[in-house]
Amino acid sequence: MRFFVRITRLAEAISLALPICLVMVEFNQPELPILNRDNIGVMVKLVPRCMPRMPIVVATTHLLYNPKRTDVRLAQIQVFLAELDRFAYYNNGKESGHLPIIMTGDLNSTPNSAVIKLLDKGHVSASKFRDSSDWQRIGVTDNCQHLSVYLDRLQGKTTEFSTTQIYNSEYRPAASEGQSPPALREGHRELFNGNLIGHSLNLVSAYKKYKPDAQCEASTFQDSWVTVDYIYFSCCASLKLLERLRLPTASECEVLDCLPNDVYASDHLALAALFELRPLISSL
């Protein structure tokens, strides 16, 4: 049996499947100066009603809007990917890896930005975006992974949120509670605050960002018509992109004048994609 998922928003995905776990990711981290904004992310683990043994993770986020603060957006996506890496991982004793992932969001980042390069290539130079923030204080490594996750996986174990060091108001009333022992935080310094940020989720974009004639796609107007909205998905045999809603080019958007307007109520054009989920995992 195959399961078809049309993703336009998180609520629609939930209507097609049973949610078994939901996590809110807070980008306001008291222990890290660069993460002082109240943007958030949401991720949910869903079990399709017709395929109860084939979970999928759907995640969405809205990164900071400030064209001059790529450093903040890069820090926010680093935390988001770390939680996505932890949340989507499974180990049932027979198999281990990441569940299929669909990640959407208004990333407020153009295709040539550091945030999108990180998602597309799996790594990006972060040297010019670093400040005095010490990522060891929240235990998120340069590979967009919790330190506790990294250590647990060396032993073949999964990781609960309670063993991570990031702050979440729903689970942890104070940033200092639940953190790993000082001896653990002092170790593994080589995993933090480097000049290169990477991740290992193997994501691909549902949109090409540029048309065959090299014209750029556009999803909103920010001084000019640009793309800042994205749908990413796992590059794996169990998840296949079937079709997507076409985005117009920047030149085609000129007839719209500005958004929102009397015809179109949103300041962003819609993205939508249809996926096929195939049952490849034997049991979880």
Q: What is the pLDDT of residue 51?
A: 76
Instruction: Single out the residue of 67, 69, 68, 104 nearest to residue 84, CA to CA.
Output: 104
Supply the pLDDT for residue 174: 46
Reported as a single tens digit per residue, the pLDDT across 184-243 is 556 789 999 999 999 999 999 999 988 888 889 999 999 899 999 999 999 998 999 999
* Cis peptide leading into residue 279 (ω within 30°): no
Per-residue pLDDT, 17:
72
User: Span 236-252, mean pLDDT?
Assistant: 94
Q: pTM of the full predicted structure?
A: 0.89
Q: What is the pLDDT of residues 119-161, one digit of tens each?
A: 999 999 999 999 999 999 999 999 999 999 999 998 888 888 8
pLDDT bin (cut points 50, 70, 90) of residue 280 is low
- Give pLDDT tens digits for 69-95: 999 999 999 999 999 999 999 988 888
pLDDT at 209: 84
Q: Which residues pair with 229 in a beta bridge?
A: 106
What was the pLDDT predicted at 259? 87
Residue 29 has pLDDT above 90, yes or no: yes
pLDDT tens track for 8-20: 445 555 566 777 8
Rounded CA separation 57/198 (Å): 20
Question: What confidence score (pLDDT) does residue 172 get?
Answer: 59
Given a cut of 50, is residue 1 above it in pLDDT?
A: no
Question: Which backbone phi and psi does 219 adopt, to 5 degrees?
Answer: -125, -10
Extended strands (E) in the chain: 3-7, 17-26, 40-48, 56-62, 89-91, 96-98, 101-106, 123-125, 196-198, 203-205, 220-221, 225-226, 229-234, 239-244, 273-277
pLDDT in tens, 205-221: 999 988 888 889 999 99
DSSP 216: B
What kind of fold does domain 3-277 have according to CATH? Deoxyribonuclease I; Chain A (3.60.10)
- What are the Cα distances from residue 50, in Å, to 33, 105, 232, 233? 45, 27, 24, 21
User: Six-digit token pair at 13?
Assistant: 């995905």
Non-local CB neighbours of 121 within 8 Å, separated by 6+ positions: none
